[in-house]
Amino acid sequence: MYRSARQFFSPCFFLLPASSIDCAPMIGRASFEAHDLACLRGGRIVFARLAFRVDAGGLLVLRGPNGAGKSSLLRMMAGLIGPAHGALLWNGDDIADDPDAHRARVSYAGHSDALKPALTVAEHLVFHAKLRGHAADKVAAALDAFALTKLAELPARLLSQGQRKRVALGRLIAAPAPLWLLDEPTNGLDADSTARLEAAIAAHRETGGIVVAATHLDFAGAGATTLTLGERKAA
């Protein structure tokens, strides 16, 4: 409701997308797309005329050099920042029209792990499930998916970097949401944990979920689409 004014004033002259990418629709229920998206940070254009489309079961991999706007795009997809221009559409509806509904369908795993040193692994996951309005019944599955069961009662201050990341990723399963937004999810993960993440992403896509991930690694998997940011340099 706060962003409707911005949407109202946004000029709609350039509705034709600059480039459009299509994923093979698997279940064909949900779709997530962007039209002519632009991002402005501190008065500087980070990216502009960006367009993509991901359908249910799709995986969109964001690539590009540092500062190309991968994280900004993910935050925009999460509804944390508003687009300077253009719109993000879920099933054809602008996410800015109903931000509450959009927040409920997004699970965002950002750069920081958002862990409190004094809380245990299990407490983090239970709290996150409750915060997002779910029961805590998926916590055991989340612990299992990222091999955290043995660490469940350990306070976060004792965890290593990779273990912290796994707790942050465990939130994706503890509080299910159709759209996963992952910012460098493999940072600090070892080979086994990366494989677990890939398995979790595959399982999520099989149920019709959509995954958008910014990553440098080639862990894409079948049917992934790549969106490269920051290719066109300002002349």
Question: Six-digit token pair at 98?
Answer: 């109903």
Q: How far is the CB of 108 from another protein (least distance, A)?
A: 5
Residue 29 binding another protein, by CB under 8 A = no
Residue 78 binding another protein, by CB under 8 A = yes
Q: Which of 12, 24, 27, 104 binds another protein (CB under 8 A)?
A: 104
Q: Render the burial of 158-181: b for 16+ CB within 10 Å, e for the rest.
A: ebeeebbbbbbbbbbbbbbbbbbb
Site pattern 167..186 for another protein (x: CB under 8 A):
----x---------------
Site pattern 117..156 for another protein (x: CB under 8 A):
-xx---x---xx-xxxx-----------------------
- Residue nearer to another protein on the CB measure, 68 or 115: 115
Q: Residue 164: name the closest of 183, 181, 189 by CA.
A: 189
User: Applying CB under 8 A, which part among 9-17, 21-29, 58-66, 111-119 lies near another protein?
Assistant: 111-119
| Sheet of 93-94, strand order | 44-55, 31-41, 85-90, 93-94
- Residue nearer to another protein on the CB measure, 6 or 232: 6
Site size for another protein (CB under 8 A): 29
Residue 80 binding another protein, by CB under 8 A = yes
Interacting residues with another protein between 46 and 75 (CB under 8 A): 75
User: Applying CB under 8 A, which part among 48-56, 80-88, 90-98, 203-211 lies near another protein?
Assistant: 80-88
What does the binding site for another protein look like in residue numbers (CB under 8 A)? 2, 75, 78-82, 100, 103-104, 106, 108, 110-116, 118-119, 123, 127-128, 130-133, 171
